[in-house]
Amino acid sequence: MNKDNEIKHEHQHADECDKYTHNHSHEHTHEHSHEHHHHVHCDCGSDHSHEQAERSINGAIKFRVEKLDCANCAQKVEDAIKRADNIEDAALNFSSSLLFVKTRSKESTEDLRERLQKIANEAEPGVLITAYDRNTQGNAHEHQVQKSEIFRLTCALLLFICGALLQEELCFAAALAVSGFPVVIKALRNILHGEWFDENFLMTLAAGGAFAIGEWAEGSAVMVFYEIGELFQAYAVNRSRRSISSLMDIRAEYAVVLKDGIEQKMNPEDVAVGDIILIRPGERVALDGVLIQGASSLDTSALSGESLPKEVEIGDEILAGSVNLSSLIHVRVDKEFAQSSVSRILELVENAGSKKAPTEKFITKFARVYTPLVVLGALLVFLLPMLLLKDTQYEEWLYRALTFLVVSCPCALVVSVPLGLFAGIGGAGRKGILVKGGNYLEALDTVDTVVFDKTGTLTEGSFTVGEITSDKLSEAELLRLGAYGEAYSNHPIAKSIQQTYGQSIEKERITDFEEISGRGIHCRIDGEDIYLGNHKLMEQINIPYKKNTPIGTVIHIANRKEYLGYILITDKVKKTSAKAIEALKKEGVERCIMLSGDRNEVVQAVGNELKLDAVYGQLLPQQKVEKVEELLKTNRGRLAFVGDGINDAPVLARADIGVAMGGIGSDAAIEAADVVLMKDDPLALAEAIAVSKRTKRILRQNIIFSLAVKGAVLLLTVFGLSTMWMGVFADVGVTLLAVMNSMRALRS
């Protein structure tokens, strides 16, 4: 099977353990199950685990991590924590400076933090682990650190300038001592822990070697300007993190709660379910709820990426993160803050960076191999000329070797690549596309087959009764039987029949209700056996039925003796579906396929209208999984399945990339899918792929630019045409440029 281990799901096959509940079906096998039936995960032991699935680490305790210089440092700290006692799993996200830790047994958060701090200090001295507080960015300490760093490096720079003006070696030595002391200490600590080859070691060796051969000015310059560059780099990275986080932070700072006629301004986390909150024009909605007074327009762009205002009236659902545009409204809170849409979005974005993309993992591994190789290269630059050439001066070749070391630092790559992915995820989020990890963002670039669910994905999913036909009963009587037969269902089709009937249903008149999987319903209404479903149900009970029915979803109705008639349900194709297929083709998707439980004529009609490459109808839920598996076997790239995320969980789990449509109101969607399109628009998938391609282009630019500049300067160094000053630019300057380039992904 053409299945990339990087993006396999932790969910299990539906057909491997038959623990999925059955959907009842009419003429189409309802692509959505009833509300009282839910998908159940199986325990069959089949291993389809996602290599990075555990990176989300459900139930983890979160901490903020400060003074983290690069992704390599983050990896060292993460590895050390994962080896510690009582730690089940850990993930340190360099881009968001968040540490996720799951323990095997209970441990107080403060005791755990103190223990983690000791571990971090041993792995990467100077790293600070603090308590997590979503209301702060955790930068107060870093601001203080930056002030002291600025003071220290200003002194070092002044000493260097004095040395340059006075040609005083003691000034150069003092500048080196002031600027290089932390670097040397880190290098020595790392050496004691067996970590020889990092940038601290390289810079210590380069500066010390320059002093040893009498290049006092250049030796101190390397350290002073390296540290100044590191300060700028830290500032650029922290500013980038804050930019991404602030764009994604769509929480309201407060909620105005109405209690006994008195308005109280409260922290959203302290508001209880059932409280009434007031939202004035211009204010952001703090919690999810239901509108109980007033009418207004809401800006939901922060949630869904939809630019047009949404009109709301009494009874409508209001989601946290929306902005009230026009008039005062009263909302009854129906979810506490931790369960609100905005909280779930923030949780998802924070977790996203802990799922490392292939490029990011490659760069981390590359850096570990690259640095020792460059040290070996520098050694050869010094030794080979001494052995092979006559009349060589060891000072000259040692200088070239030391410059070689300065150039070699892989900072530009190990900083800019994870930051670029994080920015890409943030840029997608601004468009209403939630990507659950850098691995999925990268994977979208290689999607060549997209498989769509029909109902609610390519079609509106808002069903209406189009026709009622009966030779035995009046239309009203057949509709009554349909409404009573569907009385226990919350499926959109059932609701459309109930709404058309428009009268209250006396459920005590309904007995022996039974769902027949893949076929329909059997129940007794007023003591009479009634069957509602598709043609398979009619054939099962041996009742001749009307076969030449119009295109649409047909619900046949019969009793034990005879066929009573049918109800035709219609569903319109979404306005953007055709544009979505066209846009996907432009983005390089080769096949657009639709799966449906609906009858073949309906499916084929939709397929023809949208110019799909293939359509498959009359599929049971487990048959959809089987069909996706067949497609995976013939697929060259990756396969994405797009569904509603609630009832398509088995198929979402089986595809390379599961994409949930309009799922921000659904916990099941966020759980099952790898990508959530918050606006109910298939066109957003093409936008997601475009963001992925743009982000990967930026990553490639950073990799090629960094390696090209370093390669060029290294080559010049070997031939004696570069200086340590050029080496500092090739390291620090390239890193800064790469970081700034990575931020373009935020504007995807």
**CA 434 – CA 685 distance, rounded (Å):** 11
Contact call for residues 682 and 577 (beta carbons, < 8 A): yes
Q: Does 367 share its domain with 494?
A: no
Q: How far is CA 638 from CA 98, 545, 628, 634, 641, in A?
A: 30, 43, 12, 10, 10
Domain residues for the domain of 743 are: 141-246+351-422+693-747
Domain match, 126 and 196 both: no
Higher-confidence residue: 427 or 31? 427
58 in Cβ contact with 348 (< 8 Å): no
CB atoms within 10 A of CB 743: 20
What is the band of 15 on the pLDDT scale with cuts at 50, 70, 90? Answer: very low
| Residue 590 contacts residue 448 (beta carbons within 8 Å) | yes
- Say if strands 61-66 and 433-435 run parallel, antiparallel, or are unpaired: unpaired
Residue 383 lies in a domain: yes
Contact 278, 285 (CB under 8 A): no
Locate tokens 């441990």: which residue? 107
Q: Is 258 helix (H, G, I), strand (E, B) or coil?
A: strand
Report the relative pairing of strands 657-661 and 675-677 from DSSP bridges. Answer: parallel
User: C-alpha distances in angstroms, 473 versus 299, 469, 526, 542?
Assistant: 49, 9, 16, 20
- 477 falls within a domain: yes
Tell me what pLDDT residue 678 has.
80
CATH at residue 327: 2.70.150.10
Residue 687 lies in a domain: no
- For residue 330, what are the β-bridge partners? 278, 293
The percent of residues in the chain predicted with pLDDT above 70, rounded, is: 84
Are 504 and 587 part of one and the same domain?
no
Same domain, 128 and 198: no
Name the phi and psi angles at 599, rounded to 5. -70, 155
Averaged pLDDT for residues 240-246: 63
- State whether 380 and 233 are in the same domain: yes
Residues 242 and 160 in one domain: yes
Mean pLDDT across the stretch 558-577? 91
Q: Which of 30-34, 227-231, 538-542, 729-733 has the highest mean pLDDT?
A: 538-542
Q: What band does 59 get if pLDDT is binned at 50, 70 and 90?
A: low
Instruction: Classify the phi-psi angles of 456: left when phi > 0, otherwise alpha if psi is within -120 to 50, otherwise beta.
Output: left
Cα-trace Rg, the chain: 32
pLDDT at position 456 is 80
Mean pLDDT of the chain: 81
Residue 254 located in a structural domain: no
Same domain, 661 and 715: no
pLDDT at position 190, please? 77
Tell me the torsion sign for CA atoms 177, 179, 181, 183: negative
Residue 142 vs residues 129, 157, 239, 475: alpha-carbon distances, Å: 12, 22, 11, 73
Extract the tokens encoding 234.
């830290």
Q: Let me know: does 340 contact 288? Beta carbons within 8 Å.
A: yes
User: By the 8 A CB rule, do 595 and 616 touch?
Assistant: yes
Contact 238, 420 (CB under 8 A): no
CA-CA-CA-CA torsion sign (255, 746, 358, 445): positive
pLDDT band at 413 (very low <50, low <70, confident <90, very high): confident
Read off the tokens for 230. 């590191």
Judge whether residue 113 has pLDDT over 70: yes
Whether 200 is in a domain gets the answer yes
**Residue 681 pLDDT greater than 70, yes or no:** yes
Please give the residue that has the higher pLDDT: either 235 or 640. 640
Residue 526, pLDDT > 80, answer: yes
State the CATH number of the domain containing residue 506: 3.40.1110.10
**pLDDT for res 733:** 82
pLDDT at position 14, please? Answer: 31
Least confident of 192-201, 608-617, 627-636: 192-201
Say if residue 73 is in the same domain as residue 206: no
Q: Do 566 and 577 lie in a common domain?
A: no
Q: Which string of b and e fits 299-312 if b means at least 16 CB within 10 Å?
A: bbbbbbbbeebbeb
* Claim to verify: residue 482 and residue 395 sit in the same structural domain: no
Q: Which residue has the higher pLDDT, 419 or 22?
A: 419
Q: What is the pLDDT of residues 464-522, one digit of tens each?
A: 898 999 988 999 999 999 999 999 887 778 888 999 999 999 999 999 998 887 788 99
Domain termination residue (choose one: 133, 161, 196): 133
Most confident of 156-160, 218-222, 340-344: 156-160
pLDDT at residue 36, rounded to an integer: 32
Q: Are 98 and 64 in contact (CB under 8 A)?
A: yes
The rounded distance, in Å, linking the Cα atoms of 273 and 287 is: 9
What's the pLDDT at 172? 92
pLDDT mean over 585-601 = 90
Mean pLDDT, range 118-136, rounded to an integer: 80
pTM score of the predicted model: 0.71
Last residue of one domain, picked from the residues 133, 161, 181: 133
Dihedral Cα 80, 84, 86, 87, nearest 10 deg? 10
Residue (of 461, 458, 500, 464) closest to 482 by Cα position: 500
Averaging pLDDT over each range in 395-409, 514-528, 581-595, which range is the top one? 581-595
Spatial separation of the C-alpha atoms in residues 616 and 599, rounded to whole Å = 9
Tell me, yes or no, whether 38 and 110 share the same domain. no
pLDDT at residue 26 tops 50: no
DSSP letters, 165-202, are: HHT-HHHHHHHHHHHHHHHHHHHHHHHHTT---SHHHH
Q: Is 693 helix (H, G, I), strand (E, B) or coil?
A: helix
Catalytic residue list: 453
Q: Give me the mean pLDDT over the 128-151 stretch.
A: 69
Kindly state the helix (H) or strand (E) to which residue 287 belongs, with its residue range.
none
- pLDDT at residue 529 tops 90: yes
- Residue 562 has what pLDDT? 94
Which residue reads 């390239």 in tokens? 734
- Give the distance, in angstroms, between the CA of residue 159 and the centroid of all CA atoms in the same chain: 48
Judge whether 531 lies within some domain.
yes
pLDDT of residue 16: 31
Residue 664 has pLDDT above 70, yes or no: no
Highest mean pLDDT among 41-45, 141-145, 284-288, 661-665: 284-288
CB atoms within 10 A of CB 258: 14
DSSP β-bridge partners for residue 230? none
Listed range (86-100, 166-180, 573-587) with the worst mean pLDDT: 86-100
Per-residue pLDDT at 245: 63
Q: Number of folded domains in the chain?
A: 5
Torsion-angle region of 163 (φ positive above 0: left; ψ -120 to 50: alpha; else: beta): alpha
Residue 683 lies in a domain: no
Residue pair 317/331 in contact (Cβ under 8 Å)? The answer is no
d(CA 678, CA 305): 8
Measured CA to CA, the distance from residue 92 to residue 79 in angstroms comes to: 9
Look at the alpha carbons of 420, 422, 426, 432 in this order and tell me if their dihedral is positive or negative: positive
As to burial, measured by CB atoms within 10 angstroms (0-12 exposed, 13-18 middle, 19+ buried), residue 544 is: exposed
Specify the higher pLDDT residue, 40 or 532. Answer: 532
Asked if residue 111 is part of any domain, the answer here is yes
The residue with greater pLDDT, 147 or 32, is 147
Average pLDDT over residues 247-264: 83
Instruction: Tell me: do 355 and 329 sit in the same domain.
Output: no
For residues 507 and 4, which has the higher predicted lDDT (pLDDT)? 507
The residue from 570, 592, 617 where one domain ends is: 570
* HEC assignment per residue over 37-100: CCCCCCCCCCCCCCCCHHHHCCCCEEEEEECCCCHHHHHHHHHHHHCCCCEEEEEEECCCCEEE
Query: Residue 97 belongs to a domain with what CATH number?
Result: 3.30.70.100
Q: What is the CATH number of the domain that holds 18?
A: 3.40.50.1000
